[in-house]
């Protein structure tokens, strides 16, 4: 499980990313009008990651905060990889994390990935005729 911060804008996001500094890792490919970020520090679960990202955004200087506020979309994207066991996984988000996302006009979204074995089977099924799977 991981939480990425995905930001899409009509203007250059580089000043915002630069202001966040070494506290975030920019996922490739870097682009001017979108940014996909991960925290460089390890946190306990999605809840902690959302609250840490929110604290970083709250601490932005005025001009960089205006870039955040003007963005088209801001997503705290929680990535989860399913598995056969355990049968289920509970991922609570605190009221504080949900309120922080709402206050920042950001969404909380989930991306669910199949188990590794299933991914392999799905990719092989999608291979072009006569070709090899991924």
Domain parsing of the chain, residue ranges: 2-126
> How does the average pLDDT of the chain come out, rounded?
87
Residue 17 pLDDT exceeds 60: yes
**pTM of the entire structure?**
0.82
CA distance to 37, 77, 79, 101, per residue, from 112 (Å): 18, 10, 6, 20
Q: What is the pLDDT of residue 117?
A: 57
Q: pLDDT per residue over 27-50, tens digit each? A: 987 788 999 999 999 888 999 999
Q: Which two tokens stand for residue 74?
A: 């801001």
Q: What is the pLDDT of residue 30?
A: 73
Residue 126 pLDDT exceeds 90: no
């Amino acid at each position: 499980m991981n939480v990425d911060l995905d930001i899409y804008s009509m203007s250059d996001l580089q000043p915002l990313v630069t202001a966040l500094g070494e506290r975030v890792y920019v996922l490739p490919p870097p682009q001017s009008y979108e940014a996909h970020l991960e925290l460089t520090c390890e946190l306990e679960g999605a809840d902690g990651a959302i609250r840490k990202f929110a604290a970083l955004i709250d601490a932005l200087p005025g001009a960089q905060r205006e870039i955040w506020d003007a963005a088209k979309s801001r997503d705290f994207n929680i990535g989860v990889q399913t598995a056969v066991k355990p049968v289920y996984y509970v991922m609570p988000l605190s009221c504080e994390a949900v309120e922080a996302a709402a206050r920042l006009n950001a969404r909380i979204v989930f991306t669910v990935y199949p188990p590794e074995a299933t991914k392999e089977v799905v990719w092989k099924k999608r291979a072009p005729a006569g070709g090899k799977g991924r």
